[in-house]
Chain A
Amino acid sequence: MVRITLTVNGEKKEVDVSISESLLHVLRDKLHLRSVKANCYRGECGICTVIMNNRLVKSCQVLAVEADGAEIITVEGLTRDGKIAPIQRAFIEKFGFQCGFCTPAFVLAGHWIVNNMPKASEDEIREIISGIVCRCTGYKQIVDAIKYAIMLAHGESG
């Protein structure tokens, strides 16, 4: 066991981790952040995506020990004082989810785009989220939601 420090959704946490664990296990099993989902454990589906040091990463591919000192954001961290983030509102209003299993990953990807690439074109949005698989929606309403969230956050000019 190794003790690592993570800043998760703004809070500092110390966790004892084993080298056989990935960040995904730490977030889900040790920090009980169950919004983080998993499917393949092979880096292929993108469902386990979280924001780490302001970048999108597949948490199943990050060794727990390696994440020491990292700053992590999961969907649990998007709602502050009962107020939901623009990206969440957009997913709700634009029907950006169905079964919801992929949704946390897309919400985070959308959140990242809203904050980092507010001028992204539709094609750029589609390219960025292409690391994540959704089998339900056909992606259109997800893309619509991300575009709408950019507008909510930055106004029409965004």
Chain B
Amino acid sequence: MSSVVESKGVVFWREYFPKLEYFKPKTIDEALDLLDKYGRDARIKAGATCLTRALRARKIKPIPKYLIDITSIKELKKIEYIDGNELIIGAAVTHEEIINNELIKKKFTALWEASANIGDIETRYRGTIGGNIANSSAQADLPPALMVFNAYVTLMSKEGSRKVPLTKFFLGHKKNVMKPNELLVSVHVPEPPEGAKSSYLKFKRSIEDRALVGIAALVAYPRDPSKRIIRLAYTAISKTPFLLSEAEELFKQDKPLSKLIEEAIGIAQSKYGLPVGERGIDLRAPKEYRLHLIRIGTKAILKYLIEGIKVI
């Protein structure tokens, strides 16, 4: 017969957080000092929409002892647009602040649409762009929308700062390149190419749902192969959100656009590999269906951006 196994009894949920010490720094430097001092025992708190859950589940190991609330750091709350160059969004800027920004709506539409698609009004009011990225969920909405703009983030620690393209930031579901003493300070969205339009398409089962598949796209000069830029990025189909890096080259080819789209879809589908497991998320829809959504979603978003016709 089977052998004896020892298991922790399962506590399904807890109302109380672990006992932590709480800091509310006013400047980035203060925050970095704290991070440096407490390292792996410290945790950043932004909107806390995800963090509160992770703390209650005692999912973060080791269980943090210090909480650093960054929502009072003014420098992290700024949205700055350097005309013709880039958009800089502070890590603690909320989804709602992004939605209320007319420039983002016009120029960085995919980001705007992805933000508007997050959770519910209460989550958008509290949740931040930095939290959405740092949380590094395989089904997060903002990363693909940022990736089509080739966005990157600035990470800072006592030792200095570094810029990491979002495409290099994620290492897996809830895993990223950040060191324990690093703070995600800002998100940089380069000026979109001339003539570009972008959009985000999210498939979900209810108004308040995580993506079954999320697709971001950016398109410029679709009819002219020499100038054409088409970028595609996806969430909720692989270990991390990803930019379909092959696509940009592919779409430069002088072949019928619909052929190229089919090819791009094939590549995107080949990347399928959602994490499954207790911390995973795959069970909300079967693989075949997600592959189907990649197919029709990619076609739909490109049709919309190229011809202005919404089909879905």
Q: Do chains A and B touch in the complex (CB under 8 A)?
A: yes
Tell whether A34 is near chain B: CB-to-CB under 8 Å.
no
Q: Which A36-71 residues sit within 8 Å CB-CB of chain B? A: 38, 41-43, 46, 49, 55-58, 60-63, 65-66
Chain B binding surface SS class: loop
Q: Mark interface residues in A131-142 (1 if CB within 8 Å of B CB, else 0).
A: 100000000000
How far apart are the CA atoms of A38 and B15 in the complex, in Å?
10
Residues of B within 8 A of A63 (CB): 17, 22, 45, 48, 52, 67, 69
Tell whether B53 is near chain A: CB-to-CB under 8 Å.
yes
Residues of B within 8 A of A88 (CB): none
Tell whether A130 is near chain B: CB-to-CB under 8 Å.
yes
Tell whether B283 is near chain A: CB-to-CB under 8 Å.
no
**Please, how many residues of chain A have a CB less than 8 angstroms from a CB on the other chain?**
27
How far apart are the CA atoms of A73 and B213 in the complex, in Å?
38
Structural contact, A18 and B53, CB atoms closer than 8 A: no
How far apart are the CA atoms of A18 and B14 in the complex, in Å?
15
How far apart are the CA atoms of A66 and B207 in the complex, in Å?
29
Instruction: From B15, B17, B22, B122, name the one whose CB has the most chain A CB atoms within 10 angstroms.
Output: B122
Chain A binding surface SS class: mixed
How far apart are the CA atoms of A131 and B207 in the complex, in Å?
9
Structural contact, A2 and B22, CB atoms closer than 8 A: yes
Tell whether B273 is near chain A: CB-to-CB under 8 Å.
no
Residues of B within 8 A of A2 (CB): 22
Residues of A within 8 A of B71 (CB): 66
With A57-B122, A61-B126 as known contacts, state yes or no: A20 contacts B52, CB within 8 Å: no
**Please, how many residues of chain B have a CB less than 8 angstroms from a CB on the other chain?**
29
- How far is the CB of B22 from the nearest CB of chain A, in Å? 5
The contact of A19 among B48, B67, B125, by CB within 8 Å, is: B67
How far apart are the CA atoms of A92 and B119 in the complex, in Å?
29
Tell whether A14 is near chain B: CB-to-CB under 8 Å.
no
Residue of B nearest to A66 (CB): B69
Residues of B within 8 A of A74 (CB): none
Residue of B nearest to A112 (CB): B121
Q: Mark interface residues in B89-132 (1 if CB within 8 Å of A CB, else 0).
A: 00000000000000000000000000000011111011000000
Structural contact, A18 and B122, CB atoms closer than 8 A: no
Residues of B within 8 A of A49 (CB): 122
How far apart are the CA atoms of A42 and B207 in the complex, in Å?
18
With A18-B19, A19-B67, A41-B56 as known contacts, state yes or no: A56 contacts B49, CB within 8 Å: no
Q: Which A66-104 residues sit within 8 Å CB-CB of chain B? A: 66
Structural contact, A19 and B53, CB atoms closer than 8 A: no
- How far is the CB of A7 from the nearest CB of chain B, in Å? 19
How far apart are the CA atoms of A63 and B68 in the complex, in Å?
12
Residues of A within 8 A of B18 (CB): 20
Instruction: From A38, A43, A57, A62, name the one whose CB has the most chain B CB atoms within 10 angstroms.
Output: A43
Structural contact, B53 and A131, CB atoms closer than 8 A: no
Residues of B within 8 A of A66 (CB): 22, 24, 45, 48, 69, 71
Structural contact, A57 and B120, CB atoms closer than 8 A: no
Tell whether B21 is near chain A: CB-to-CB under 8 Å.
yes
Residues of A within 8 A of B120 (CB): 46, 130-131
The contact of B125 among A41, A43, A55, by CB within 8 Å, is: A55
Residues of A within 8 A of B207 (CB): 127, 130
Structural contact, B123 and A25, CB atoms closer than 8 A: no
The contact of A61 among B13, B16, B22, B49, by CB within 8 Å, is: B49
- Name B residues whose Cβ lies closer than 8 Å to a Cβ of A: 13-22, 24, 45, 48-49, 52-53, 56, 67, 69, 71, 119-123, 125-126, 207-208
Not counting A22-B52, A65-B22, A66-B69, a sample of 16 additional A-B residue pairs whose C-beta atoms are within 8 angstroms of each other reads: A2-B22, A20-B16, A25-B16, A41-B13, A43-B49, A43-B123, A46-B122, A49-B122, A61-B48, A62-B48, A63-B22, A63-B52, A130-B207, A131-B120, A131-B123, A131-B208
